[in-house]
């Protein structure tokens, strides 16, 4: 019995030392958490705003002043401190969609630099991502600019009610929508749209995507991007709180 106890004790010590890394190669690479709201200026001079969500989806908008030039949608993967985003660039100037990949280093809640052969995009983390989304934060009257790949919205105002519902009326189309906070306690909302008339991709009347409220600026702004089910066109709206 004493021999059995001694053997078990020796086994336990060996297991404990192994768990602590004694004499073994048990190092594990920790992947950086890249989720957040990121903003910066690309090498082409565009202002880029992008959201990396907890499920790995990436939604982005690039603009200059009040002119919207395009959108980005893709999925991200992180290996250590390097992020890779594979997706689609919706270029509203050329009215084209281009598949591609952006990669680069990322520091959680600090900086991220994305690049490929055509462009580099240094981005900084926006702390407004960590403010939980609420219906009251999005409710109110907002002035806006917006466009799809083939249609530019006439700048106007929109009223979002306390439950996140709204109707956006243009001369050639009407869009009804709903904005609901996403689960997870971050500053991201789901947005769904239904359009009638001529204001989007031919034959498309439904859109879905995300919206973020930037509370770091006064007045607050929101940025939203919704895509068609086939993800062949996007509706971008940028709003400013009245």
Q: Do domains 36-129 and 131-241 have the same CATH topology?
A: yes
Taking only the tens of pLDDT, the chain with its 242 residues reads: 333 333 323 323 232 333 344 445 555 679 999 999 999 999 999 999 999 999 999 999 999 988 999 999 999 999 999 999 999 999 988 888 999 999 999 999 999 999 999 999 999 999 999 999 999 999 999 999 988 887 888 899 999 999 999 998 888 788 899 999 999 899 999 999 988 776 655 556 789 999 999 888 899 999 999 998 888 888 899 999 99
Residue 235 half-sphere exposure, CB side, CA atoms within 13 Å?
28
Fold of 131-241: Lipocalin (2.40.128)
Check whether the bond before 180 is cis (ω within 30° of 0). no
Look up residue 241 and give its two tokens.
């709180």
pTM, rounded to two decimals? 0.83
Instruction: For the chain, report the end-to-end CA distance as a whole number of angstroms.
Output: 82
Sequence spans of domains, the chain: 36-129, 131-241
By DSSP bridging, strand 156-160 and strand 140-147 are antiparallel
The answer to whether the CB of 177 falls within 8 A of the CB of 194 is yes
CATH 2.40.128.280 fits 36-129, yes or no: yes
Look up residue 164 and give its two tokens.
């996140």
Identify which of 161, 183, 186, 156 has the alpha carbon closest to the alpha carbon of residue 171. Answer: 156
């Amino acid at each position: 019995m004493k021999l059995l106890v001694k053997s078990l004790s020796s086994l336990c010590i060996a297991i404990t030392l192994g768990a602590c890394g004694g004499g073994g190669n048990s190092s594990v690479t920790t992947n950086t958490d890249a989720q957040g709201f990121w903003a910066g200026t690309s090498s082409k001079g565009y202002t880029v705003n992008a959201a990396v969500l907890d499920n790995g989806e990436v939604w982005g908008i690039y603009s200059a002043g009040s002119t919207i030039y395009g959108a980005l949608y893709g999925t991200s993967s992180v290996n250590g401190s390097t992020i890779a985003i594979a997706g689609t660039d919706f270029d509203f100037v050329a009215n084209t969609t281009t598949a591609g990949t952006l990669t680069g280093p990322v520091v959680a809640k600090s900086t991220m630099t994305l690049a490929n052969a055509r462009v580099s995009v240094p981005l900084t983390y926006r702390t407004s991502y960590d403010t939980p989304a609420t219906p009251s934060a999005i409710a109110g009257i907002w002035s806006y600019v917006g466009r799809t790949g083939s249609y530019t919205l006439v700048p106007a105002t929109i009223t979002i009610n306390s439950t996140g519902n709204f109707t956006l009326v243009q001369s050639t189309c009407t869009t009804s929508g709903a904005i609901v906070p996403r689960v997870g306690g971050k500053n991201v909302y789901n947005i769904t749209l239904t359009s009638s008339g001529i204001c989007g991709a031919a034959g498309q009347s439904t859109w879905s995507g995300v919206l973020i409220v930037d509370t770091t600026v006064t007045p607050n702004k929101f940025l939203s991007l919704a895509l068609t089910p086939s993800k062949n066109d996007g509706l971008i709206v940028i709003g400013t709180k009245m």
